[in-house]
Structure 1
Amino acid sequence: MDTISERYESQPSGPKYRALAIAIREAVSEKELPVGQKLPPVRDLAWRLQITPGTVARAYTILTDEGTLMAEVGRGTYVADPVKRPRPLLPEAPWPTVQTSDPDAPISFVSPKLPDHGQCDMVRQAFAQVAMHPADRLMNYPSRSGFKPAREAALNWLADTPLGAVSQDDLVLSHGGQNGIGLVMQACLRGTKPVVLVEELSYPGFRRAAELIRAEVIDVPMDDKGIIPDALDELARRYDAQLLCTSPEVHNPTVLVTPQSRREEIARVARRRGFHVAEDDCYRIGARTGQSYRALLPQQGWHVASISKSITPALRIGFVVAPDGWQSELRRVAEHGFFGLAQPLADVATQVLTSPDLDRVLDAVRADYARYIRSAVNVLGSYDLTWRQDVPFLWLSLPQGWRAVSFVRAAERVGVQLRAADEFALRDKRTPHAVRIAINAQVSLEQFDQAMHRLRDLLDNPPESIAI
C-alpha cells in the first residue's frame, strides 16, 4: 500500500482515478507490485489515499479491463501475469474531452448540451470491453435473452421512479426516447385514424411520431398545473381518443410540474374514457415529485425514459415500460420493427449503467447544470422567467408587445440560437410570446453568461422590428 501511496502522491494534477491507475501501472511495470500480488481492498485504499471508494473502483476497473490487474470474485484484485495479459484496450494518454465552442461562433441554446464529467471515458471503456466479448455476441442476431442484462441495468436506472409492480420483462430498449414514443403509439393505437391527445404546448416529438402513423393530434388546454381534467374529459369523449402523451415531471417547454392531485384527476378521466397515457420522463435529471402514470394506471400507463439528458444522447439509448397486459405487444412492435437494439450497443448500455462511477458523474452533471441555471437567472431574473435548478432549460415569457419568432431572429443576429413557443404547439394554434432557453454546458460559464447578457440587452432595448 505504501508503494501505491507514494506513486499516487507524485502524480501531476488531474482526475484522481486516472492518477491512481497510472501509479499502479507504473508500480507493476517497475516490478514493485509483482505478478500475483493482491491489491488492497477498495475501501482500505480509499481511506489511505483520502479519496472515494468509487474513485478506487474506477481505477481498478480500468486496469482490469486493460489486463494489468485481474479480479476474482470473492478473492480480490491481483496483479495479472504479463504473459497472459491482452494488449491494452485503450491508450494510456488522456482522451480529449468535449470541445467548447469557438468564442466567435453562434451559441446554441436549442437543445441541452451535457458537460463531460467522465461520460466519455465511461463510453470508451464500455466499447473497449464489449469488443472483447465472445464472437457469438458479435456475429449473431440479437435475442431477448441476450438483452436481459441491459434490461436489468435499465430497471436499476429507473429504481427511483414509482412505476408500481414492475420487472425487467415489462421493459423494452429503444433507440432513444423518441423511438420509445413511436413504439408506444404502434403498440396501443388501433384503427385507420386514431386520435392522440397532447398538451397545448408540448414536446414536438409527440406530434411527429403521431403523424408517421397517420394519427390525428388534438391539443388539450392547460393551466399552471398542467392539463385541465374537465377539458381532457370532453375532448377524449368527443374524439374517442386512444392515447394521451404528457410530461408531468418536467413539462417541455414550460418547466411546470403537474402535482400529484392533478395526476390523480387525469388518471380518473383516463379510466373513465379508456385511453392510454404515455409519460415522457426523458428530461428529468432530479428527484421525482409524484407517482408515474404507470403506477396510477397499471393497465393503461406507459413510461418512456432515456439517458440522453443525463449521460449522453450519442448512444441513443431509451427505455419503454409497458402496462400490465401489454408487454408482449410492445415486444412484438420492437422485434418486428427493427429486431431490437444491436447486441453490442445493448452491452455498452449495460456497462455504462452499471459503472461504479455513474452516481458521481450524475451528481457532477446536475451540479454543473445548476451553475448555468443560476447564471441565467442572475441575468434574466427580472423578466418572466420559469426555471428549476434540476431542469436543463428555462422558459422566458416575453414582455407585452414582443413577438417570439422575431425575438428568436434578433437573438440569432447577436449569436444566440433559441426555440420559439411556436415550435411546441400545433401548426394552426395561437401560442404565447415566449422562448425556451436550453442549457449548453459545453461552452464555458463565461461564454454562457455573455450570451445571457446579449439576450438581456435585446429585452431591455427592443428594436422596432420586434416591438409593436
Structure 2
Amino acid sequence: MDTKWAPNLTVTGKSKYKALADNIRDAVAEGVLSSGEKLPPVRELAYQLSVTPGTVARAYSILTEEGVLQAGVGRGTFVADTQAQTDPSHAWPRMLNLRSPLLPDVGQSMLLRDAMREAAETMVSDDMLTYPNRAMDLPLRRALRRWMADLPIGNFTAEDMVLAHGAQSAVSLVMQTVLRGPDPAVAVESMTYPGFRRAAELSRARVVGIDCDDEGPRVDHLEQAVRDEGVQLFCTSSEVNNPTLRFTTDRRRREIAALAQRLGLNILDDDCYAIGTHRAESYHSLGPEFGWYVSSLSKTLTPSLRVGYVVAPRDRVSDLARTAAFNHFGMSRPLTELSLSIMSDPRLLSVAARVRARINELVRITVNHLGGYDVSWNEDVPFLWLRLPQGWRASSFLRAAEEQNVILKGAEEFTLRDARAPHAVRIAVNGLVDPSCYEAGIIRLRKLLDHPREEITV
C-alpha cells in the first residue's frame, strides 16, 4: 500500500479501533486509498501502528460491514470497488451456481479469523495432546443451547445434545442408534432431502416413500409403512420441506406424533433450513421420548465449520453419544474451541441478522421476476421451488439454463428412485455473487420460462 497514507490514532476521546476506522474511511473518501487497493494484513498493520491485531481486525470488520472495504477469504482486505457495485454486468460468473444455497459473507470471515486467533491464544497445550471427549465439548453445547432458546423444541438441556460433523453426519448417527434388525426400514416423504436416502443406504436400510397432501405427510400412509414395511424411523423436515417448502401443519404433526407414540415409531426432524420464526412445535416437543431434533450452523452462519447437533430423547442420549464416540471418538478440540469462540462473540447476532436480510433480499429479487409462474417461496428460506409451465420438461429446462450459464437442481434429485418426478426445479440463492449478477441470472431464467422450447418427437 502507498506509504503516503499515514493513519493518526491519537484522536482524543476515541478508541484506537474507531480512530483507525475513521482514518481509513477518510482516506477512501479523499482518494488517498483507491478502489480495489489492498490493505496491509492485520498483523502487519498492527505492528506498524504499535497496536494489537484485534484493534486492526475490529476496524476492518466495521468498514467491511459498512461496505467501505471488502474481505476475500485467502485474498486479504481491499478498498471496495464502487464501480463494481453499480455496474450490473460486473463480474458475471462463468457459471452461476444455483444448485445449493451459498451464504453471503457479511462478517462471518472476520468472526472466523478473530475466533482462530482467540482459540490459538486460549487453548491449554495439554488439551491439544489428548483425545477429545464429551466433557470437552460441553461449553459449546451450552452455547448452542442458548442459541436455540427461542425454538419450540420442548424442554432440554445441553446434556441432551450430541454434536456431529454437520447435520448429515447427525442424521447418520441417529439412524445408526435407532435402527435394529437384519432388514431395517426408514420412511421419508416422497419428495425430500436426498441426504436421508444416502444415510439410510450407509445404514443398510430400505427407504419407504410417504405421500403428502396440503397439510403434510399422510398419516394413513405412514401407519401402513410402519405396519407392513417395518419402518422404525421417519425422517422429515416439518418446518421447511426441502425442496417444496411445504410446512407440516400443527394438526398434522400432532396426528403423526400420536401415531408414533402408539406404534413406537422414532421421528427425526431436520430443522436446518428454518432460519425465521417457527410456526409449530417440533416432534421433540410433541414427543420427547421419540423425537430427535437435528440442525446445524451451516445455513445460518457458514457450512465450513461442519458443526451439527442432535437433541435426543433423554433416555437415548447415552446411546447416541456412544454411537458418535464409536464413529469419530469425539469432536476435534480445535473445532469446538473455534465454534465456541464464534458462538460467544457479541457480533454473532448482528451477523446472523445480516445473513437473513441478504437471503430475504435475494428471494424477493427472484419472486419479483418469477412470481408470475407457479413458484413456492418463503423469504426466510434460501431456495425456491418452481413448477415449470407447459412446454418445459425439467431435463430440457436444466439444459437450457446451463446454456445460459445458470445451473439448478431438478425434481428428480429429490424423489425416490422408483418414483415419478414432477417437472419442477429448485432455485437456490447464491449470496457469494453480487446481487446484480444474481438478478441477471434470474432474468435469464425468466426469459427461458417466457419462451418454452416444446419438443415434439415422432
Offset at residue 402 of structure 1 (A): 2.2
1:419 is the counterpart of 2:431: no
**1:366, 1:237 → 2: CA distance?**
42
Offset at residue 153 of structure 1 (A): 1.1
Q: TM-score, normalised by structure 1?
A: 0.81
Quickly say closer, same or farther: Cα 1:64–1:191, change in 2 above 3 A.
Answer: farther
| Letter in structure 1 aligned against 2:270 | D
Q: TM-score, normalised by structure 2?
A: 0.83
**1:393, 1:199 → 2: CA distance?**
19
SS in 2 for 1:190: coil
- For 1:396, the equivalent position in structure 2 comes to 386
**Deviant stretches of 4+, over 6 Å:** 25-28
Q: State which of 223, 230, 240 in structure 2 corresponds to 1:250.
A: 240
Alignment coverage as a number of residue pairs = 408
Offset at residue 401 of structure 1 (A): 3.9
Decide which moves more: 5-14 or 308-317. Answer: 5-14
- For 2:171, the equivalent position in structure 1 comes to 181
- For 2:367, the equivalent position in structure 1 comes to 377
Deviations 1:354-404 (A, max 9, x none): 110011001111111111111111111100010011000000001134211
1:463 is the counterpart of 2:453: yes
Q: State which of 243, 268, 275 in structure 1 corresponds to 2:258.
A: 268
Q: State which of 207, 213, 222 in structure 2 corresponds to 1:217.
A: 207
Q: State which of 297, 300, 310 in structure 2 corresponds to 1:320.
A: 310
SS in 2 for 1:13: helix
Unpaired stretches in structure 2, ≥5 consecutive residues? 1-10, 29-38, 59-73
- For 1:35, the equivalent position in structure 2 comes to none
Offset at residue 445 of structure 1 (A): 1.1
Offset at residue 94 of structure 1 (A): 3.7
Deviations 1:417-451 (A, max 9, x none): 00000100111101211100000011111111111
1:129 is the counterpart of 2:129: no
Q: State which of 336, 351, 359 in structure 1 corresponds to 2:326.
A: 336
| Letter in structure 2 aligned against 1:128 | R
**2:199, 2:414 → 1: CA distance?**
14
| Letter in structure 2 aligned against 1:285 | I
1:105 is the counterpart of 2:94: yes
Q: CA RMSD in A?
A: 3.0
SS in 1 for 2:304: coil
**1:358, 1:445 → 2: CA distance?**
23
Deviations 1:172-191 (A, max 9, x none): 11100000000000011101
- For 1:116, the equivalent position in structure 2 comes to 105
SS in 2 for 1:399: coil
**1:115, 1:242 → 2: CA distance?**
39
Superposed counterparts of 1:50-449, under 5 Å: 62-63=54-55, 94=77, 102-132=91-121, 133-449=123-439
Offset at residue 324 of structure 1 (A): 2.2
- For 2:13, the equivalent position in structure 1 comes to 3
**1:381, 1:277 → 2: CA distance?**
35
**1:466, 1:108 → 2: CA distance?**
30
Quickly say closer, same or farther: Cα 1:332–1:421, change in 2 above 3 A.
Answer: same
SS in 2 for 1:11: helix
**1:341, 1:95 → 2: CA distance?**
35
Unpaired stretches in structure 1, ≥5 consecutive residues? 31-59, 67-90
